[in-house]
Amino acid sequence: MNLFGVMGISASGLNAERTRAEVVAGNMANAESTRTAEGGPYQRKEVVLQSQGPSSFRMQLANSTGNQSGGLAGGVQVRSIVSDTASPIMRYEPTHPDADANGFVAYPNINPVLEMTDLMGAARAYQMNASAVQAAKAMIQQSIELLK
């Protein structure tokens, strides 16, 4: 592994955490959306993260032949963005244009506390990855210093 590979891993972490923050922001922005393109109220979205396995052939081979090296270090990727299937919150608002026959309006089931803690987690993890980039950068710069 070279030092630029370290930066690539951290970059994948930054990317994943930013996507997570984006999804949380989308959830909070759509907390009151009663209409979507698919019909019905907005459904809360969630990010599924997956660790990137060993990429090189050599490492794949080493793993499949029972070499207990644990595999090469890999980054992280956003596997998918899934919708939360929780049922919507029904509020009695007979004058609302989207009210049903009984006068209830279906609102997205979004808990602001849950979203905020998720956002804080994403921000912290982003910070952590950013400092890993800083560390890798410092190491590269130190290697360049050798040439002076």
Partner 1 sequence: MSLIDTSMMQRLSHFLDATAARGGVIASNIANIDTPGYHARDVDFRSQLATMMNDNEENTPAAPRIVEVAGLTERPDGNNVNMDREGLALAQAQLQFQTGVAFMKAEIHRLTQAIHEGGQQ
27 counts as binding partner 1 under rule CB under 8 A: no
Shortest separation between residue 39's beta carbon and partner 1, angstroms: 31
Q: Determine the interface stretch with partner 1 among 6-14, 29-37, 85-93, 108-116 (rule: CB under 8 A).
A: 6-14
- Alpha-carbon gap, residue 63 to 55, rounded angstroms: 11
Give the Å distances, CA to CA, from 57 to 34, 54, 73.
Answer: 49, 8, 14
12 counts as binding partner 1 under rule CB under 8 A: yes
Between CA 134 and CA 144, with CA 139 as vertex, the angle to 5 degrees is 120
The total of other beta-carbon atoms located within 10 Å of residue 140's CB is 15
- Alpha-carbon gap, residue 106 to 91, rounded angstroms: 7
Site string for partner 1, 43-72 (x = CB under 8 A): ------xxx------xx--x------xxxx
Site for partner 1 in 123-142 (CB under 8 A): 124-125, 128-129, 131-132, 135-136, 138-139, 142
Name the site residues for partner 1 (rule: CB under 8 A).
1-3, 5-7, 9-10, 12-13, 16-17, 20, 49-51, 58-59, 62, 69-76, 121-122, 124-125, 128-129, 131-132, 135-136, 138-139, 142-143, 145-146
